[in-house]
Structure 1
Amino acid sequence: MQSHPHAPAQATQPVRSRRELTQFVELPYHLHRDDPHFVPPLRSECRRLLDRRRNPFFAYGEAELFVARSDDGRVVGRIAAVDNPRHNDFHRARDGFFGQFECVDDPAVARDLFEAAAAWLRRRGLNSMMGPVNFTTNDECGLLVDGFDAPPCVLMPYNPPHYPALLEAGGLTKAKDLLAFERDGRPYDDRIVRIADSVQRRHRLRVRSLDLRDFNAETARIKHIYDQAWQENWGFTPMTDKEFTALARRLRKIADPSLVHLAEVGDEPVGVILALPDLNQALPVAHGRLTRFGLPIGAARLARAVRRIDRARCVLLGVVAEFRGRGIEAVLMRRLHEAGVTSYRGIELSWSLEDNHAIHRTITAVGATHTKTYRIYQRSL
């Protein structure tokens, strides 16, 4: 990775102009351009996330963007301070968040960024700061602290190995770890297959793939399971209907219906497993842009590269509380494996909370191993 010598940073300042917003967006492309594991996100997606008119988060939440500059005017760091009232109402808390953190390898610059974010959150009456979260725990979140030997999967964050030390220099400590697991395409153990078959018969469980012809109703079914299955999890905040619909429409563009399965008892949806083709395998060819010189060069390259994707990421695996602990998770994982084994050589399951021991037992029982750790940090204000 290329080093980035720089002069001492000036005071960190909020983003106010379109030019400053562009500099905010561009910073990670400059910082990580020589890192072989950095996957350049599409700039259009980065801007969509920050757009107050297009991101449904801003219907109820607020964020302030900051950049740090060196004495010669170059941007050497960035951060977003985030106020999420829905999180605080749901958890009866006064938590603030930070996200979008990028920084040169300089603890002084990092401290300035965290102080700017902390001061903004303090003025809003919040008494803690957690992150990285971009902008909710339903978006990309966590700092990679273990597993730097491979690129991230689709919709998972990435950072170089020196970032944890920068957060610690800013007074942040561990709040919770998020774990990623990996499984290759080898067949399931016969014992797991027998258990899954028995569970399916016992509960008269119907497991089916996603019906894109009934997309709106399917989205509502998945949201129902999501809200029920995750509501007791640390850090969970229910999505608004607009947030969930917007996310579903974005994911539909890259979804493989054979990787999305619902479990139903009678007419009631009780579980879901949702995996996505790992778009990050293809994204590097676009260099962060779908168009160049007015031509869809990046889009054409990306379309060709997508056909070579051979791994997936399991984004959701959940069962409503009433049916949890009965082996339905194993049934769903087996169905996902059967559907994807001919097209995908492996799958990442991410993320799960470090203390969600029940799901970890299921994941490891089917042959997956822990490969990456992401961390949510915290600091009192």
Structure 2
Amino acid sequence: MQLVEVSTPAHAREFLEFPPRVIYAHDPNYIRPLDQDVNAVFDPAKNKLLRNGECQRWLLLNHAGQTIGRVAAFINREAAFPAEPEPSAPDSADQAPASSTKGIFRKMGGMGFFECIDDQAAANVLLDACRDWLAARGIEGMDGPINFGDRDKWWGVLTQNFGSPIYGASYNPAYYEPLLRTYGFQTFYKQVTYSRSVAGELHPSIMKRAERIAHDPRYEFRHMRRREWRKYAADFRDVYNKAWVKHGVKPMSEEASVKIMKSMLGILDEKLVWFGYYDKQPISFFISLPEINEVLRRFNGKLGWWQKIQFKYHQLRKTVKTMFGVVFGVVPEHQRKGVEAAMVYESALVIQKPGGLPYTHTVLNWIGDFNPKMMSVVELLGATPWREHHTLRYYFDRTRPFERHPVID
């Protein structure tokens, strides 16, 4: 077997073409990711992590020169080598949750875009390449398979429910998990994807809380208006920073929130993007999008002018029947009061209206088992586990005791 670094345009094309040609050639559930999405991960002009990070891709060839595997390794230096805190700065109560998780990625690298024939020796060559490359740069372990970017794309190995993937989700043959575990990877955390019928009813106790909140005049819940998208970008940023920064997440900038909201404008249905307000101040959001893989499966990874025309056709015909719950957030002072249920209740009044929207069920973005409180919330809202991925971790020092991701408050 020959390991080849991706260093030419021909190598980069083969990195894209190998999986559909070999691994998934006869898999009816496979939906090829958009080439432009994959390429963007390795483009310094589009992936900000490459400003202070590093990555390397490889192809694995057999004795006949045919590709039998691919993989990438990467370092996010900001996470792997975080700045030491000022020793004189006292810890405050609201900073405590961040400190409990901040160090878990110290000197950890990433492995991703793993695709391989069902052969342990071939898998070992690919994973050894990642290990050696990372170790030479001061890294002590690797998480994978993950993305060199946000967790909403290609994160974790699929372990349960091998049906067609939702947009951005990892998809792989069932034999990938044993290949990785045999090498020595262990579960760092489980990722549970939930599903809920649009017509499903809330539990009576939850419905009572939802109705109480919804009828409190200090609360208001409404879906976004496309023409006011900049206002909703600001509201999204406000809630996001209050809800997640205490868990060690980097605060979102105004530029980032505008970029995120702007990127959704071409595909969003404004009646699926909901915000909650208390005394006119933003306190929550629930952002869902049409599940575009129901359309993209026809495009074989391409999104040129012809595919964009076809995509618009399907939008106008309302052929997509699934909503994808991208992100959900409530500011801390309004959590556990029924705000989550009230948003679902208010949105259901619009979505379930006869002759209204075409959607029949919702698939929610994955929730890590390190966040049992959020898992309890979505289960109370009538969602049930639908699919499971695992984020795996491998320590280069094989005598090091394994630690799972800590539970967050």
Q: 1:253 to 1:59 in 2, by over 3 A?
A: farther
Q: Do the aligned partners of 2:272 and 2:287 also contact (CA within 8 Å) in 1?
A: yes
Q: Structure 1 residue 135 and structure 2 residue 127: aligned?
A: no
Q: What is the distance in 1 between the residues matched to 2:287 and 2:40? A: 23
Runs of 4+ in 1 over 6 A off after TM superposition: none
Q: What is the distance in 1 between the residues matched to 2:41 and 2:242? A: 26
Structure 1 match to 2:268: 255
**CA displacement at 1:243 relative to structure 2:** 5.2
Letter in 2 for 1:100: F
**CA displacement at 1:312 relative to structure 2:** 0.8
| 1:197 counterpart (201, 208, 211) | 211
Offset from partner CA, 1:7-33 (integer Å, 9 cap, x none): xx32x2321111111111222221213
| 2:362 counterpart (328, 331, 347) | 347
The total of aligned residue pairs comes to 366
Structure 1 match to 2:40: 48
Q: What is the distance in 2 between the residues matched to 1:183 and 1:232? A: 29
Offset from partner CA, 1:173-228 (integer Å, 9 cap, x none): 11000101111122424543321021244582221212322323422321332233
**CA displacement at 1:244 relative to structure 2:** 4.9
Letter in 2 for 1:301: Q
Q: Do the aligned partners of 2:214 and 2:346 also contact (CA within 8 Å) in 1?
A: no
Unaligned runs of 5+ residues in structure 1 are: 1-8
Q: What is the distance in 2 between the residues matched to 1:358 and 1:317? A: 13
Q: What is the distance in 1 between the residues matched to 2:250 and 2:70? A: 25
**CA displacement at 1:271 relative to structure 2:** 1.3
Q: Structure 1 residue 216 and structure 2 residue 246: aligned?
A: no
Structure 1 match to 2:312: 303
CA-based RMSD of the aligned residues comes to: 2.3
Moved more, 63-72 or 242-251: 242-251
Q: Do the aligned partners of 2:158 and 2:390 also contact (CA within 8 Å) in 1?
A: yes
Offset from partner CA, 1:288-320 (integer Å, 9 cap, x none): 2234xxxx4433333334431011110101112
Letter in 1 for 2:371: N
Q: What is the distance in 2 between the residues matched to 1:72 and 1:188? A: 58
Structure 2 match to 1:4: none
Structure 1 match to 2:399: none
Q: Secondary structure at the match of 2:391?
A: strand
**CA displacement at 1:267 relative to structure 2:** 3.9
| 2:379 counterpart (364, 368, 371) | 364
**CA displacement at 1:337 relative to structure 2:** 3.0
Q: Structure 1 residue 336 and structure 2 residue 347: aligned?
A: yes
**CA displacement at 1:167 relative to structure 2:** 1.1
Q: Structure 1 residue 225 and structure 2 residue 239: aligned?
A: yes
Letter in 2 for 1:210: M
Letter in 1 for 2:226: L
TM-score (norm 1): 0.88
| 1:32 counterpart (24, 32, 35) | 24
Offset from partner CA, 1:95-127 (integer Å, 9 cap, x none): 111111111111111111111111121122111
| 1:69 counterpart (46, 49, 61) | 61
**CA displacement at 1:347 relative to structure 2:** 0.4
Moved more, 301-310 or 37-46: 301-310
Q: What is the distance in 1 between the residues matched to 2:29 and 2:38? A: 19
Q: What is the distance in 1 between the residues matched to 2:189 and 2:238? A: 26
Structure 1 match to 2:49: 57
Q: Do the aligned partners of 1:208 and 1:262 also contact (CA within 8 Å) in 2?
A: yes
